[in-house]
Structure 1
Amino acid sequence: MLNVLFVCTGNICRSPMAEGMLRAQADLWGIGDRLRVDSAGTTRWHEGEEPTREAQIAAASRGYYLGDLRSRPVTSADFDNFDWIICMTREHQKALRDRRRSADQAQILLATAFSPYLGAIDIEDPWGLGQAAYDGALDQLEQCCADILVRVRASVAA
């Protein structure tokens, strides 16, 4: 089983969209039972809140359900409980690398690093920018998740 944690700032936009999407796509690829997916934020600003309305609309328009997700912050246990911690920006990646203890097992990765089509760019925060920004972030996340699943399938098959 591979354990994947998506991370953004507040855990109400990008990371829950990625979580819902990767779960759904993994099920379609027939590997959902070999993958555990969660999401968290680098802050507690929105702890306990559901994803934004715009995130839910963007996700639902492509068949992904986010309604049962609630925001939570990254915890120290996450560094041991997840194999891959996948960050939306280089700033998130740096913040988590600074918090990680040397014995922690998690690899802290940039979401777009999985995708040769996107390169190592940040997935910008759509919060407060309107539905089109959420749809654009979801476009990037769909590409990332497809490329992540290629690696996941190879990892869980090994």
Structure 2
Amino acid sequence: MLSELCRKFFGKPSASVSVLVVCMENICRSPILEGVLKRALAEQGLSGVVRVDSAGTYASQPGSKPDVRAVKVAKEKGVDISRVRSRKVKVEDYDEYDYIVAVDDSVLQFLNEHSSGSEHCQIRTLMSFMEEPASNEVPDPYYGNAASFLLVYDLIEKASSETALYISNTCFKK
């Protein structure tokens, strides 16, 4: 029944859901979120049926690797994000993805302003998937230290579990 709703609203088969996660530069928060959300979706049995990618609103150096501190904290937690490469959000993304997930309110504002009125995707913040978020935003750890990246990882991990559960329940439960 809900799978049919996904098909109706997204115009795709229920086994074809896509998520774009977005931060500013696509080198810290969104690469971590991409990797952690993929793992959370796999834990829901959705590996291979939900596509997750990342992008940045600014992404000043497209093709860049994630920040080494982001790669390190993710690797320590069992998530490999070393192959992620930065890119900027494109106009086509609004029609290609079912969910576009912002890490903070400034990214959300950018996404809404540049969506050209596309009604295909849901644009929302990561924390909006949580019943009781510890924070409304995922802080940018770029100018912080290793502890900043660990805090961001932990916030993303908690939110990703609830996001994966939401996607599973909304798009794949009969």
TM-score normalised over the length of structure 1 = 0.95
* Identity among equivalent pairs (%): 27
Please identify runs of 4+ aligned residues in structure 1 that moved more than 4 A. Answer: none
Deviation at 1:120, TM superposition (A): 6.0
Paired residue for 1:43? 58
Matched length? 158
The one-letter code of the counterpart of 2:17 is L
Deviation at 1:5, TM superposition (A): 0.5
Structure 2 counterpart SS, 1:140: helix
The one-letter code of the counterpart of 2:150 is D
Partners of 2:155 and 2:83 in 1: how far apart? 23
The one-letter code of the counterpart of 1:78 is D
TM-score normalised over the length of structure 2 = 0.86
Structure 1 counterpart SS, 2:36: helix
Query: Is the CA contact (8 Å cut-off) linking 1:10 and 1:43 kept in structure 2?
Result: yes
Query: Is the CA contact (8 Å cut-off) linking 2:44 and 2:165 kept in structure 1?
Result: no
Partners of 1:121 and 1:79 in 2: how far apart? 23
Query: Is the CA contact (8 Å cut-off) linking 1:12 and 1:51 kept in structure 2?
Result: yes
Deviation at 1:24, TM superposition (A): 1.9
Q: Which runs of 5+ in 1 are unaligned?
A: none
Partners of 1:121 and 1:102 in 2: how far apart? 25
Query: Is the CA contact (8 Å cut-off) linking 1:11 and 1:46 kept in structure 2?
Result: no
Query: Is the CA contact (8 Å cut-off) linking 1:110 and 1:120 kept in structure 2?
Result: no
Paired residue for 2:158? 143
Paired residue for 2:105? 90
Query: Is the CA contact (8 Å cut-off) linking 2:94 and 2:118 kept in structure 1?
Result: no
Partners of 1:28 and 1:112 in 2: how far apart? 19
Paired residue for 1:78? 93
Query: Is the CA contact (8 Å cut-off) linking 1:88 and 1:122 kept in structure 2?
Result: yes
- 2:21 is equivalent to residue 6 of structure 1: yes
Q: Which runs of 5+ in 2 are unaligned?
A: 1-15
Query: C-alpha offsets along residues 93-121 of structure 1, whole Å, 9 cap, x if unaligned?
Result: 01110111223411110111111231661
Deviation at 1:123, TM superposition (A): 0.6
Structure 1 counterpart SS, 2:165: helix
For the aligned residues, what is the CA RMSD? 1.3
Choose which of 93, 96, 111 in structure 1 pairs with 2:126: 111
Choose which of 69, 80, 83 in structure 2 pairs with 1:68: 83
Partners of 2:131 and 2:171 in 1: how far apart? 21
Structure of larger gyration radius:
2
Paired residue for 2:45? 30
Query: Is the CA contact (8 Å cut-off) linking 2:18 and 2:52 kept in structure 1?
Result: yes
